[in-house]
Amino acid sequence: MDSCYREDGWTVRQLIHHMFDSHANAYIRFRLALTEHEPKITAYNEAAWAELEDSFSVPVSVSLDLLDGLHVRWVATLRSMSSEDFARNLDHPEIGLVDLDTMLQLYAWHGLHHVAHITSLKERMGS
């Protein structure tokens, strides 16, 4: 858990905690976009969050359990959304106005991207 997935990269532990942090923020952003008109969302310093003590000390099972619960709620929200809902926008500080359909695609890719990092490390380590 405490091996870096690449040189100068995060550890697997940090990466898993980051995935929860990221998806928790995404879930809140979705809810804001569904209930407000083009809400301006705030960015957060992912690298700084990954350096907070809990990113090193908390077992990954905690973030994995949180991700499971979060994804149950998020999927329930997604299933209830209409095409008009998916077209709703939020104002992202780095990419500007973006619709929820695009945001969903970005976060789906994000999860798969980090799982690939972990899988690649496992293969390199022979496990």
The domain that holds 48 is classified in CATH as 1.20.120.450
Confidence of residue 3 (pLDDT cuts 50, 70, 90): low
Predicted pLDDT at 125: 75
20: nearest Cα among 59, 116, 88: 59
Instruction: Answer whether residue 35 is part of any domain.
Output: yes
Strand 96-99 versus strand 89-92 pairing type: antiparallel
Contact (Cβ atoms closer than 8 angstroms) between residue 29 and residue 43: no
Q: What is the arithmetic mean of pLDDT over 10-19?
A: 92
Instruction: Answer whether residue 37 is part of any domain.
Output: yes
Instruction: Answer whether residue 42 is part of any domain.
Output: yes
Confidence of residue 4 (pLDDT cuts 50, 70, 90): low
3-state secondary structure of 90: strand
Instruction: Answer whether residue 5 is part of any domain.
Output: no
Spatial separation of the C-alpha atoms in residues 96 and 115, rounded to whole Å:
27
**What pLDDT, in 10s, does the model give residues 92-121?**
999 999 999 999 999 999 888 878 877 877
Domains in the chain: how many in total? 1
- For 96, phi then psi, to 5°, come to 80, -150
Instruction: Answer whether residue 4 is part of any domain.
Output: no
Instruction: Answer whether residue 85 is part of any domain.
Output: yes
What is the domain range of residue 112?
A: 12-125
Indicate the average pLDDT of the chain: 91
**What pLDDT, in 10s, does the model give residues 34-50?**
999 999 999 999 999 99
